[in-house]
A and B are shown apart, each in its own frame.
Chain A
Amino acid sequence: MSWLRNIASGLRSLFRRQQVDRELDEELGAYLEMAVAERMRNGLTHKEALRAVRLERGSLELTKEVVRSGGWESVVDTLWRDLLFAARMLRKSPGFTLVAILTLALGIGGNTAVFSVMNTVLLRYLPLPNPQQLVFLRLPNGPPDGLSTTGDDDRSFSYPVFEALRKEHAVFSDLMAYAPLAVDKVAVRTGEDPEEAEGDMVSGNFFSGLGVSFTRGRGFALEDETAHASVVVLSYSYWTTRFGRSPSAIGQTIYVKGVPFTVIGVTAQGFYGIEPASSTDFWIPLQNRPELNAWNEEGPLSNLYSNPKWWCIQLIGRLVPGVTESQALAKLDPDFQSAAHIGLGTPDPKAKKTILAFSSTQGIQGMRDAYQKPIQILLAMVGLVLAIACANVSMLLVARNATRAREFSVRMALGAGRGRLLRQMLTESFLLVGGGAALGWMFAISGSQALAAWSGMEIPFVLDSRVLLFTLAISISCAIVFGLAPLRSAVSVPVGVTLKTSNATAYRDQRSSWSGKVVVASQMALCLILLIGSGLLVRSLRNYQGLPVGLRVDGLLVFGTDPFSVHSDEEKEHFYQNLLARLRETPGVESATLVSHRLGSGWGWNSVWAIDGVKPQGPFSEIGMSANHIGPDFCHTLGIPILRGRDVADADARSAPKVVLVNETFAKRFFPKGDALGHSVGKKEPESRFTIVGVIGDSKYKRVDEKAKPTLYFPFAQNTPIPNMQVELRTQGNPEALIPSVHAVLHGLDPNLPIQKPLTQRAQFEESYSQARLFARLSIFFGVIAVLLVATGLYGTLAYRVDRRTSEIGVRMALGAQRGQVLWLILRESLLVSGAAIVAGVPVAIAGTRLMRSMLFGVQPGDMISFLLALFGVILVALAASIIPARRAMRVDPMVALRYE
C-alpha cells in the first residue's frame, strides 16, 4: 500500500518536522562531506573542494527546499501557513473581524434555523431504518357511511380492516396499527404526582415493524397485543423528564387513567412516535377496557377498538422491497373492500366508493399543504437577509483591501504572483466565513428551539446532516464570493501608482466607487422588499389581535379535567358541582364556570336541531348549528353580555326543566321580528326539548377569525351524556397564579386527576393565530437585522467616501462652497442611492408579495400602508446612516484638508 506509506511519511514530515529536518540535514551533510573528501583526495584544498561541489551539485540549502516541497504535505504546510498568516491579519483588525463574523453568523444562522423547520416539516423522513418503505394508509374519500369516526376520519380504519390487511405479506412486510388514547393527553400517575401525557395504544408489531431501537428494555411482542398486556414503553424524552433517565424506571408501575402498567422499555433518543407534529410520551398494547378506549371515547362497553363500526385505528405499513405503491394498492383493494363492509351490511351501490391510498412518511403528515408555501416564503425572506449580510461583508472586505493596497503592491513588487495573493485572500475569506458559520450554527441551535416553541410544535426541529450540508453549501458560496469580489479592485491597482504616491488613498478608481453604490442600492432594495413583507405580516397579526371576541378575555384561566373514575351522569354532575363549589371558595377566584368545548381551541360541536315555529329551509327537518355545554354563571364569568332573559344558574340541574341559551346570531336569524325567549329547540324525542331562557351576545367559539354562527348553550347536566368539562375561572390577579391552588383542589377530589393544559384564555385564543404570530415575529426579527445591516453598510460606504474626498471638499470650501452645500453633496449621494433602491425594489415587492396572499389576514398584498411604511423606513435608515459622515464632511477645515495632500 504505497499510498498509505506516502501519507504516513507526509504526516511524519508535518508533525515531526524537526526530526525530519535533522535527518535531511544529516543525510545531505554526509553527502557533502563525502563529495568534499573525494575532491580533497584529488589534491584540492577544503575550501576549493567545497566550491567545486557547490558548482557541480548545486546549493545544499536549495536542495533542502526542493526535497521539502516535493511531497504532498508541503501543500498542506503552505495552506496552514496561509491560514496562520490570515489569522494574524484578522487579529490585527479585531473590529472588522468581529463585525464580519457576526454579520455572517446572523445570516447563516437565520437561514439554517429556517431551513431546519423546512427540513422537519417537509423533507425529513421518520428517523427509522429504510423510512422510504414506510407508508401511512389513508382514505381520501373518507370512510363508508354509518360508522363512528374520529377527528382523523381520513386515516382511521376499523379493526377488521387491520386484521385483513396485516395478512397481506406479499405487500407489507409489516403493517402496524396505532390509536391515540385521547385527542390531546391522558391522565398518568407515577408515585404521588398525577400529570397528563400523550399516549398511543399500538399493535404488537409496532416497534419491530417500524424498526425502533431501544435505549433500555424491550418493545412489544404479538402476545402483548392478543393478551392486552399491562406493559408500557416510554419515549426517551418522557423517560428523561419523568424519570431523570434512571435505569430503575424499568419495572416501575405507572397508572394510565388509574390502570396500572409496568414499564418494560425506553425507545432510542430521537424517536418521537409517528403522530404528526406532536411527541408521543408512551405506548401500550391495544387495550379492550372501556376506560382505555381510543380517543378517550365513552359509550357502551361493546364499542371498543375491535368493533367493526368504530373506525379508530390508524395504520402504517412497511412495503416489501420492490413492490411499488400502485401494485400494492391494486393487490390490497379487494380484501380492503370486503373488510371495510364487515358489520355494515351490503354496501349501497349508490354510495360514494371508499378508496384506499398511501401517503409518504416524508415531512409531517398533513402539514405539507399548509406549511409548504409559508416556509418557502420565510426561507426567501431570510435568504434576503443573508444576501444583505454577504454584501455588507464583501463591502467591508473591499474597503479593507483598498487600505491594504500598499501592502499588496509591496508584495507584488517583491515577486508575489497574483495567484499567491488570490490564495491568501481566499484563505482570509474562508476563515471569516468559517467563523461565521460556526457561530451561525450555534445561533441556529437556539434559533430552531425558539422556532419550535413559537410554532407550538412538540417535536424539535432537528439539525441533521441535511441541514449541515445546506449550511456548508451556503457558507462555501459566501466564501468564494467574498474572496473574489475584493480581489479585482485589489490587484488591478497598478503597482507603480500605489508605491509612487505618498498618499495611499490618492488612487481613486471611479469604477469601484460606482460598483460600491450599486451594491448598497441593491442591499437597500432587498431591505425594502423585506420590510414590505414584514409590514404585511405584522398588519395581519394586528388584524387578528384586533378581532373582537365578544367576552372579557383578560383575567380568565381555563383548564381541562378528565374524571375517568366517575361514569354515570349522576356521579359526573355531582363531581362537577362539587368541583365548582370548591373552586368558588378558593382565594383569588371571583367566579367559576364550565364549558365542554374550550373557547379558541379549534374544537367545536356541530349539531342539528329543530326549532319550534321555524320552518327548516333545507330538505332536513333539523337545522345545523354550533352548540356547547356550559356551567352555571357562564355569561357572568366570561363577561358575555346577556341581551334578553337570564344566565344559566346552579338550579338548572339534571332534574330541573330543560333550558338553553342562544346567541344573538341565532335570535336574529330565526326570530328576526319576534322574541326568541320562550321558544324551544329539540330533537324528535319529546324529552329532548329545551326552552330558550336567554339571548346572549355573540362570542368567538372555535377560532378568533370565524364568522358568527347560530349557537346553542346547554346547561351541562341537562344534555346527556355529560361530557368531560373544561373549567373557566375569573380572577382579579394573574390567572396563572391560580394553578397551584387548582392542583390542590383536584388532588383533594381524586389523587389521580391531573390539571389538563392550563392556559390563560387570552393565550388560548392566540393559538388560533399562532402561525401568523410566528411569521410576524420572525419577519420583524429579519427586518431589524436587515435594517441594521443596511444602515451599517451605507454608513461605512459614505464614511469611507467622505474620508477619501476630504481634500476635494477642502478645495470646494476654500473656493467658497457653503457648509450647507457640502452637506447636500453627501446627503444627495445617499438619497440618490435610496431612490435607485426604491425604483428597483417596489416592482419586485409588488410581484413578490402576491405570493404571500395565503399568509395574510385582512390586508391585500399591495397594501398601501405597508408599502409607505417600508419606504419611509428605508429613507429614514438612509438619512440616519448619512448624518454622521455628512456632519464630518461639513466640519472639514479647508486648511487642514489642503495640507493633507
Chain B
Amino acid sequence: MPDKPSDLVQGTLDMLILKTLALEPMHGYGISVRIEQMSKGVFRLNAGSLFLAIQRLERDGLIDGEWKATENNRRARYYILTKKGRKRLDSETREWGRQAAAIARILEASEG
C-alpha cells in the first residue's frame, strides 16, 4: 500500500493539469486518473478542486473545452491545451525546476 495521498503544493494543480493535457486532450475524470497514475498515487484530486481549476483555466484561455463522445459512447467534455496554455506550461515548468532545485540545495546543505 502506498502512503496516504498528500495535498498538492499550493499553486501546482494548474501546472499539473496543463501538463496532463499537453500529452493528449482529456476529460475531467481522465485528468484526475492520469495525475494519480503519474504521481503513483501520491496526489489524489478532489472533484471540487479539479473542476474549479478547470473552470479557472478555461476562463483564462489556457485550455479549451468541447463536448465529445467517450470510448463508451458517453458524452463528456474534453479539454485541450491552447497555445497560450502551452506557453504558460513551459514557463511554469521552468520556474518550478528552478525553485525545486533551489529548495533541494537548501535541504541538502542543512543535512550536511
* Residue ranges of A at the interface with B (Cβ–Cβ < 8 Å): 1-2, 5-6, 9-10, 23-24, 26-28, 30-31, 33-35, 37-38, 56-58, 60, 62-63, 66-67, 70-71
Contacts and interface: CB of A to CB of B under 8 A. Distances in A.
Contacts of B84: 2
B52 A2 contact: no
B81 to A, nearest CB: 15
Contact of B70 (A6, A34, A62): A34
B20 to A, nearest CB: 15
B96 interface: no
Interface stretch (B11-19, B53-61, B103-111): B53-61
A30 B27 contact: yes
A31 B77 CA distance: 10
A757 B56 CA distance: 73
B59 A31 contact: no
B74 interface: yes
B51 A30 contact: no
B47 A31 contact: yes
Contact of B48 (A9, A38, A63): A63
Given A6-B59, A66-B52, A58 B27 contact: no
Contacts of A38: 33
A2 B51 contact: no
Interface string B41-80: 0001111110110011011110000000010101111000
Interface of B: 27-30, 32-33, 44-49, 51-52, 55-56, 58-61, 70, 72, 74-77, 84
A35 B55 contact: no
B29 A30 contact: yes
Contacts of A60: 47
A28 B48 CA distance: 10
Given A70-B52, A71-B55, A28 B47 contact: yes
B61 A2 contact: yes
A63 B59 CA distance: 18
Contacts of B58: 9
Given A2-B60, A30-B76, A34-B29, A58 B55 contact: no
Q: Is the interface of A mostly helix, strand, loop or mixed?
A: helix
Contacts of A28: 47, 51
A104 B73 CA distance: 63
A58 B59 contact: no
Contact of B55 (A1, A31, A62, A70): A70
Given A34-B27, A71-B55, 9 more contacts: A2-B59, A2-B84, A27-B76, A28-B47, A37-B72, A63-B48, A67-B55, A70-B56, A71-B59
Contact of A27 (B28, B44, B56, B59): B28
A2 B63 CA distance: 11
Pairs A-B, 6 closest by C-beta atoms: A66-B48, A2-B61, A30-B76, A34-B29, A63-B48, A57-B47
Nearest to A5: B61
A31 B60 contact: no
13 contacts: A2-B61, A5-B59, A5-B61, A9-B58, A23-B77, A30-B28, A30-B70, A34-B27, A34-B76, A35-B29, A38-B33, A67-B55, A70-B52
Contacts of A1: 61
A31 B29 contact: yes
B48 A58 contact: yes
A63 B61 contact: no
Given A35-B29, A58-B48, A9 B59 contact: yes
Nearest to A27: B77
A30 B75 contact: yes
B60 A6 contact: yes
Contacts of B46: 57-58, 63
A57 B27 contact: no
Contacts of A27: 28, 51, 76-77
A67 B74 contact: no
A67 B50 CA distance: 9
B75 A26 contact: yes
A38 B47 CA distance: 16
Contacts of A30: 27-29, 70, 74-77
A70 B53 CA distance: 9
B28 A31 contact: yes
Contacts of B27: 30-31, 34
A27 B72 CA distance: 15
Contacts of B48: 58, 62-63, 66-67
A66 B70 contact: no
A30 B45 CA distance: 16
A57 B45 contact: yes
A10 B59 CA distance: 9
Contacts of B75: 26, 30
User: Which one of A26, A28, A30, A37 has the highest number of Cβ atoms from chain B below 10 Å of its Cβ?
Assistant: A30
Nearest to A33: B74
